[in-house]
A and B are shown apart, each in its own frame.
Chain A
């Protein structure tokens, strides 16, 4: 499901290049220690997460480089 990002993550993503027009592929680390690879971020403001992670707090985001 789509999850809106906090402002700090929006700011972070806007400092990073896009992966294509209007989107970025990112890796996420959640506060509970789970890591999500190759997550889609749209317009640097929302990410597509598995339903079971929708309420989890994001601890870190960085651009997927693979």
Chain B
């Protein structure tokens, strides 16, 4: 976490916001590393790998006061302007973690069991999703998201950003999964990848699901 010096603040204030009160930025450090992060109010920069919990628990003024100054750390900064990066999904990363899910990828999370009547959603660019069998089950090792998190992806393009999908084609086919109680899952948060912010909840069905548990797809708008 860095407090931006006046030069960088001025630079950011001359560039558009990515969302209300924040800018998605790429910073070049003095050791020539390029790091992505979010600049809040053009004055406080959190890199992608840094925990965002402090933003919820600590007053902004105090964070600014305690943050290290960017001078000597960052030599240049620019706002990421491509559509995917500027999507609202960037701002939703904090929301995803607040559901009590671990801020780690699902594959590294502990194994849990589904509760009764829990519902999950799966976004894909394909109508003929090969991971869903003709008798309506998920194959082992298939990813989905929670029903709650899926509400934050109203279009296929937002889904690509929120779940950091490498296929740029809108993931506009949405499958509904109603697994049996006690189905084994691992839940986590999608890490930024492929130029996408991630931040959504991902659920890995380690052993798949039973027959008749998957329906769809429902078509949502591409954008």
Contact = CB atoms under 8 A, between A and B. Distances in A.
Interface of A: 10, 14, 16-18, 20-23, 40, 42-45
B117 to A, nearest CB: 22
Interface residues of B, number: 27
Interface of B: 122-126, 128-131, 139-145, 163-167, 171, 190, 193, 202, 204, 206
A17 B123 contact: no
Contacts, number: 64
B124 A22 contact: yes
Contact of A14 (B128, B131, B145): B131
Given A20-B165, A21-B123, A43-B131, 10 more contacts: A10-B130, A14-B130, A14-B139, A17-B206, A18-B131, A22-B123, A22-B129, A22-B143, A43-B130, A44-B131
A16 B125 contact: no
B130 A20 contact: no
A45 B206 CA distance: 21
Nearest to B206: A17
Contacts of A45: 126, 130
Nearest to A16: B141
A21 B130 contact: no
Contacts of B126: 22, 42-43, 45
A21 B138 CA distance: 12
Given A42-B167, A43-B124, A18 B142 contact: yes
A20 B142 contact: no
A21 B124 contact: yes
Contacts of A21: 122-124, 143-145, 163, 165, 171, 202
Contact of B163 (A10, A20, A40, A43): A20
